[in-house]
Chains A and B, each alone.
Chain A
C-alpha cells in the first residue's frame, strides 16, 4: 500500500500544477454526478485512467491492483441494489423460495450498471488526483480553498496514520507468517486476533512517537506548505 505514496512522489505529473489537476477532477466529478449517462461515465473513467497510467506513467497492472481494492467493496454493495424480493414474479431472472421471488429486474439492472459506472468514474478521478499528487501539493490546494486548518490537519494526520497502520500491520503479519502463524485455519484465526491486539498497541506507541517528532520539528497546529 505504501506504493501509493511512492507513485504520488515519483510520477511524471508529481510537479505539475496541483490546482489544475484538482479542477479537472472536480469537473469530472460534477459531470458524472449531474449527467445521467453510462457512456459519459465510461468516457470519464477511460480518460482518467489514461492520464494516470499513460501520461503520469503509473504501471497499468499496479494501477488496476490498487483500484481493485475499492472495487471489491463496490461489487458487494451493488448486489444489494441489483437483487430484490417480491411476491409476484416481475423478474428477468429469479429463483422461487417459499412464497417469494428473489431476482433481478430490468430497472434494477439498469440502475446498478448506472451506479457502478458512476462510482468507477468518480474513483478514476479521485485516484488520478491521489496517485499523481504529493501530499504537500494536496495541502496547497486545500489551503487555497480555505479549508479550516483543523480539517487540513486531520487530513494530513490521517494520511500519515494510514501508513503507520499499514507498516505495523505488515511487520506483525510477516513475523507471524515466519512462525507459521497462518499455516491452517485455526492458527490463522488466532494469529489474526493477536495481530489486531498488538497492532492496536503498536499504533498507539507510534502515535506517541509521532507527536514527539512533530514537537521537535516545531509543528504548531498548522501544516504550512511554503508558498
Chain B
C-alpha cells in the first residue's frame, strides 16, 4: 500500500506546508488525518495523489517510489482516487451521468459497462435518482454524494476523502460515515477532518497534523486520551472521550455502543 516517507513540501511562494511528514497507510483500514485549518491536510493529499511533488522524501506505492511521468501517474491514479473538499470544483460536466462517466470514457471502457458502473456507484451513495440531473442545480449535499460516487467509479484501491463532512448537516454526516464503513471492506480509506467526533467514530488509526508536522499518531482510543498533543494542535476531544473522562463511563467507540451498554 502507500507509505509517505519523510516528505517536505514548499509552495512557490515559500510557504513550507509539510515538514518531514511520514505516514503509513497500512496502519489501519480507515486512517484519520486530523488538523486545524491550514495545517497541511489538503497539501498532503495532493502529494499522495502525485499532483504535487515533494521537495524532499518519497511516496511509495507497494514499496516502489511513485514515478512522475504522465503514463505512470495515469496508472497510479486509477488505484488512488480523491474526493475534494469542494464538490463544485470536482464536477466538470453539467450532467451527473456524463460527469461520472468521464474517467471511464477516458479509459476507453465500453459504454454498456460504464452505464453499469455509474449505476452501481450512484447506488452506493444513494443518489440513483439524480442520474439525469444537471449538476449545477443540485444541493450541496447532493453534489457531495455525486463527487463521492464519482471517485468510487474507478474501483481504486485507496480513497482519499478531504474533509468529507464539512458543510454537511448531521444526517448527511452520519450517512457519509456509513458509506465509509461500507467502503472500508474493499479499499483503504484516508479521511481528513477537524470534526473530532466524526474522525473518532469513523477511523481506526489516526495521525494528528499541525503546522505541517505530524505531532502524534496511534489507534483512535489512545490518541484522543493524549492531552498534550491535542492541546498543542488546538483540537477538541470527541464528546465520547470527554464523557469517558468526566463522567467515569467506559470509553465507547460510537454513540450506538454507548446507548446499547447504558443499562
Q: Which residues of A contact B (CB under 8 A)?
A: 2, 5-6, 8-10, 134-136, 160, 163, 206, 209-210, 212-220, 224-227
Contact of B82 among A135, A216, A224 (CB under 8 A): A216
- Partner among B49, B92, B114 whose Cβ is within 8 Å of the Cβ of A214: B92
Taken residue by residue from 101 to 145, chain B's Cβ proximity to chain A (1 for < 8 Å, 0 otherwise) reads as 111011110010010000000000000000001101100000000
Pick from A6, A8, A218: contact of B74, CB under 8 Å:
A218
Q: Mostly helix, strand, loop or mixed at chain A's interface?
A: helix
B10 at the interface (CB under 8 A from A): no
Most B-side CB within 10 Å, residue of A6, A206, A209, A216: A216
Q: Which residues of B contact A217 (CB under 8 A)?
A: 92, 102-103, 106, 150
Closest B residue to A222 using CB positions: B106
In the bound complex, do residue A220 and residue B74 qualify as a contact, i.e. CB atoms below 8 Å apart? yes
Tell me if B111 and A218 are in contact (CB < 8 A).
no
Please give the distance in Å from A69's CB to the nearest CB on chain B. 19
Q: Please give, as numbers and ranges, the residues of chain A lying within 8 Å of B81 by CB-CB distance.
A: 216
Identify 6 residue pairs between A and B in the complex whose beta-carbon atoms are under 8 Å apart, listed by A's number: A5-B94, A9-B95, A136-B98, A210-B92, A217-B102, A226-B114
Residue of A nearest to B74 (CB): A218
**Chain B 238-252 residues near chain A, CB threshold 8 A:** none
If A10-B134, A225-B105 touch, whether A216 touches B95 (CB-CB below 8 Å) is: no
Contact (Cβ within 8 A) B49 A216 = yes
A218→B74 CA distance, assembly (Å): 6
Do A134 and B95 have beta carbons less than 8 Å apart?
yes
Chain B interface helix/strand/loop/mixed = helix
Once A5-B134, A5-B136, A216-B81 are accepted as A-B contacts, the answer to whether A224 and B92 lie under 8 Å apart by CB is: no
- Determine how close the nearest CB of chain A comes to the CB of B167; give it in whole angstroms: 16
Q: Judge whether B74 and A224 touch: CB under 8 Å.
A: no
Question: Are B95 and A218 closer than 8 Å at their CB atoms?
Answer: no
Chain B, 48-99, CB within 8 A of any chain A CB: 49, 51, 73-74, 77-78, 81-82, 84, 89-90, 92-95, 98
Q: Contacts of A212 on B, CB cut-off 8 Å?
A: 46, 51
Q: Which residues of A contact B114 (CB under 8 A)?
A: 226
Residues in chain A near residue B78, CB distance under 8 A = 218
Question: How near does chain B come to A156, taking the closest CB pair, in angstroms?
Answer: 9
Give 10 A-B pairs besides A9-B133, A216-B82, A220-B106 with Cβ atoms closer than 8 angstroms. A5-B134, A6-B134, A9-B95, A160-B92, A215-B51, A216-B49, A217-B103, A220-B74, A225-B105, A226-B111
Complex interface: chain B residues within 8 A of A9 (CB)? 94-95, 133-134
Which of the four size classes fits the interface of chain B? 20 to 34
A206 to B92, CA, bound (A): 12
Residue pair B94, A134 in contact (C-beta under 8 Å): yes
| Chain A residues positioned under 8 Å from B101 (CB to CB) | 226
A224 in contact with B94 (CB, 8 Å): no
A135 and B94 contacting across the interface, CB-CB below 8 Å: yes
With A6-B134, A213-B84, A216-B82 known to touch, is A135 a contact of B93 (CB < 8 Å)?
yes
Chain A residues near B137: list those with CB within 8 A.
Answer: 6
B134 partner residues in chain A, CB cutoff 8 A: 5-6, 9-10
CB nearest to B88 among chain A residues: A167
Nearest-neighbor residue (CB-CB) of B82 within chain A: A216
Chain B residues whose CB sits within 8 angstroms of the CB of A134 once the complex forms:
94-95, 98
Q: Which residues of B contact A213 (CB under 8 A)?
A: 84, 89-90, 92
Pairs of residues from A and B, 7 with the lowest C-beta to C-beta distance, nearest first: A9-B134, A224-B105, A218-B106, A217-B103, A226-B111, A136-B98, A218-B103
Smallest CB gap from B81: residue in A: A216
The minimal Cβ–Cβ distance linking A222 to chain B, given in whole angstroms, is 8
Residues of A within 8 A of B49 (CB): 216
Q: Once the chains bind, are B106 and A206 in contact (CB under 8 Å)?
A: no
Q: Is the CB of B103 within 8 A of A209?
A: no
Interface-central residue, B73, B78, B95, B133, by most chain A CB under 10 Å: B95
Residue among B77, B89, B150 making CB contact with A215, cutoff 8 Å? B77
Residues of A within 8 A of B136 (CB): 2, 5-6, 163
Q: Which residues of B lie under 8 Å from residue A160 when comparing CB positions?
A: 92
CB distance from A197 to the nearest CB of B (A): 19
B41 CB, nearest partner CB in chain A, Å: 16
Q: Mark B202-228, 1 if CB is under 8 A from A, else 0.
A: 000000000000000000000000000
